[in-house]
Amino acid sequence: MAPAVYDPIRGILLKVFSVTAFVGMQSCIKLTGGELPTGQVSFYRSAFAILPILLYLAFKGELRTAFRTSNPLGHLKRGLLGVASMIVGFYGLILLPMPDAIAIGYAMPLLAVVFAAIFLREHVRVYRWSAVFVGLVGVSIISWPKLTLFSEQGFASQAAVGAGAVLLAAALGAAAMLQLRQLVQEERTPTIVLFFSLTASVLSALSWFFGWQALSWETLGLMVMAGFFGGLGQILLTESYRFADVSTIAPFEYCSIILGSIIAFLLFDEIPTLTTLIGAFFVIGAGIFIIFREHQLGLERRAARRASTLQ
């Protein structure tokens, strides 16, 4: 679907700002030092994201209609997958250097192609399968030094557990993307954004029964900021697609590896390894190719629909 007002520069800027906000969210979570249970982190990230989202919807005059849904079960399924992805992803983020966690997380759109072919019976041609293969090779290059049995602790090492957690988060996120693709066929974007934050907050709150920790004022401040950045990132991301096509905006998601590396160096004294940079090159190249190919297929489908209406 083409944007109502085509302004690609504005769309790209909003996308870059959204990526910056999400990196800010990750930085706040990492600054907690892993002292909180990840379910508790997920709750605060989701709950404090609701306020900017509500303010945004009120400003757009969409607050009342955003609560109307015809598919509550679909929102619940998306929420379950999304919360599970957040929890294990945050766990991996704490254990890994930020650039590594970001780069491995790029596996999500690649896995979404695989899942769409398996579960939705989508026809995936050799071009996209080739891109998925190249991208997963890149993920393997990043992950292998952390997963190798030849390290001191093997698969039980902190790096191996972190890499496995981020890979699992990517798989769960890919499944959530499939559910989201079904939701957008019948639900409005404000409804999807709002219900995800509400569902994620409620589901994450259930982790209280497994034990939460008391928050210091500093940690509480970081959690408030993480939630605010998360909500702001969702708003900016939503707005960006009002002004340009997905294929124009989506590649700028990969700015996060640059921003993440800068922040990781400044705040955590972390420097990307050579294998991370090489693997990220493979994954980013594959991701951009898939986006380009999806754009081409979208143009072909629209052209075929126009031709059929003229017959």
Domain with 22 in it: 8-208+217-310
Q: Do residues 99 and 226 make contact, with C-beta atoms less than 8 angstroms apart?
A: no
Look at residue 251 and tell me whether its pLDDT is greater than 80.
no
Give a yes or no: residue 2 inside a domain: no
Count of domains forming the chain: 1
Q: How many angstroms from the chain centroid is the CA of residue 81? A: 12
Q: State the pTM of this model.
A: 0.83
**Residue bearing the bigger pLDDT, 287 or 138:** 138
- The structure tokens listed for 133 are 């293969």
pLDDT tens digit sequence for 164-175: 999 999 999 989
In angstroms, the CA 302 to CA 121 distance is 21
**For 81-125, what is each residue's pLDDT tens digit?**
999 999 999 999 999 989 999 988 888 888 888 888 888 787 777
Q: What pLDDT is recorded for position 309?
A: 45
Question: 263 lies in a domain?
Answer: yes
Greater confidence (157 vs 89) lies with 89
Two structure tokens written together for 91: 């766990």
CA dist., res. 76 & res. 58, Å (int): 24
What whole-number distance in Å separates Cα of residue 309 and Cα of residue 311? Answer: 6
Confidence band for 246, pLDDT divided at 50, 70 and 90:
low
The torsion angle over the Cα atoms of residues 73, 164, 228 and 258, rounded to 10 degrees, is -130
Q: Which residue has the tokens 């950045």?
A: 229
88, part of any domain: yes
| Alpha helix stretches (DSSP H) within 67-157 | 72-95, 98-105, 107-119, 126-147
* Token pair of 100 as six digits: 């590594």
